[in-house]
Amino acid sequence: MSGGPLYLVAVIKPRMDVADAVAERLRIMRDATREEPGNVYMELVEGDEPDTWFMFEKFTSREAWNEHMTLPHVIDGNAFLADKLREPTELRFYTEK
């Protein structure tokens, strides 16, 4: 991966019996992340399958994302989500061509 902006798609598969709680926590995490200096955008979206969600993210650099992962709202949020997902979140990283 080259330097420069880092793009990320997180594939999130919540347990549907706790989907509302998962969505609320993800919105809290998203809103806090949007305040980070290294975050360009973060959007939580739903695809054609309502039980699979996506978080589209862009950070100014890989270093900014690494820092993001150490922040309390991310650590606490991921701990909250750990038993509320059908499978671990899949992270797909991209850089500009």
pLDDT at 57 over 90: yes
What domains sit in the chain, N to C, each tagged with a CATH number?
A: 6-52+60-95 (3.30.70.100)
pTM: 0.92
Q: Are 94 and 2 in contact (CB under 8 A)?
A: no
**Residue 2, amino acid:** S
Q: Are 7 and 93 in contact (CB under 8 A)?
A: yes
Provide the pLDDT for residue 3. Answer: 82
Provide the pLDDT for residue 2. Answer: 57
State pLDDT tens for residues 61-79. 999 999 999 999 999 999 9
State pLDDT tens for residues 1-53. 458 999 999 999 999 999 999 999 999 999 999 999 999 999 999 989 999 99
